[in-house]
Amino acid sequence: MERAIRSFLEGMGRSFEGDVLDATPGRVARAWVEDLVAGYGVDPGAELTWSPNEDGPTAGPVLVRRIHFASVCAHHLLPFFGRAGVAYLPGERIAGLSKLGRVVDAHARRLQTQERLTADIVQTLEHGLRPRGVVALLEAQHTCMTLRGVRKEQSSMLTLASAGIYRDDAAARREMVELLVGNGSG
């Protein structure tokens, strides 16, 4: 990876002899492997530990809002970042709240599209928790849209994925989305 990054920089006409860029290829390679795409080394399902739901079918929904995330666009290799809201209606299992954030990060730290990221989060929660319903709402700013191309600063993208009761019942889904959005923030 370092050689490829060095070639990339040389392709832009940069020379490395005595230059401050000499250590850049190593720094960039470490940033990608250890942080930007570290999710490939993590099993999102393993991040989702759970305990039995002692309240059974009377348990109400569980929501976590404003889970900050950062990812890298699979189309342009540019970052996108934002906030996720996740809600589920417990079945026999409940998750620790921090586990929901870990699932978001495990999927976000990969080359992604926002649509796929949203669906991956729902799929992991549905498989691991077996809830009666799950919904994920993500809002993000994409630098592939704000820094290049149309350059629409301040624009954001909103994606929604759902399963179970929240996929099948529009009123239930609408209620969860309203709760996740809260004061105008997802």
**CATH at residue 163:** 3.30.1130.10
Q: What is the pLDDT of residues 72-115, one digit of tens each?
A: 999 999 999 999 999 999 999 999 889 999 999 999 999 999 99
Residue type, 31: A
Cα separations in angstroms, 117 against 7, 12, 44, 71, 97: 31, 32, 12, 9, 19
Would you say 115 and 159 are in contact if contact means Cβ atoms under 8 Å apart? yes
Are both 93 and 32 inside the same structural domain?
no
Q: Which residues have C-beta within 8 Å of that of residue 158, sequence separation ≥ 6?
A: 137, 138, 139, 186
Number of structural domains the chain divides into: 2
**Residue 44: inside a domain:** no
In a shared domain, residues 69 and 9: no
Distance, in Å, from the CA atom of 173 to the CA atom of 181, rounded to the nearest integer, reads: 12
pTM of the model: 0.91
Confidence of residue 185 (pLDDT cuts 50, 70, 90): very low
Structure tokens at 132: 């009666």
Q: 121: which 2 tokens?
A: 């989060």
| Mean pLDDT for the stretch of residues 148-170 | 92
pLDDT of residue 183: 63
Check whether residue 96 and residue 138 sit in a common domain: yes
Tens digit of each residue's pLDDT (9 = 90 or more) over 50-75:
999 998 878 899 999 999 999 999 99
Whether residue 89 contacts residue 128, with contact meaning beta carbons closer than 8 Å, is answered with no
Q: Are residues 162 and 122 in the same domain?
A: yes
Do 68 and 30 share a domain, yes or no? Answer: no
- Looking at the structure, tell me whether residues 7 and 83 fall in a common domain: no
Domain around 25: 2-36
Distance CA 6, CA 33 (A): 16
Q: Are residues 88 and 119 in the same domain?
A: yes
List alpha helices for 23-94, DSSP H.
Answer: 24-31, 44-47
**Both 115 and 61 in a single domain?**
yes
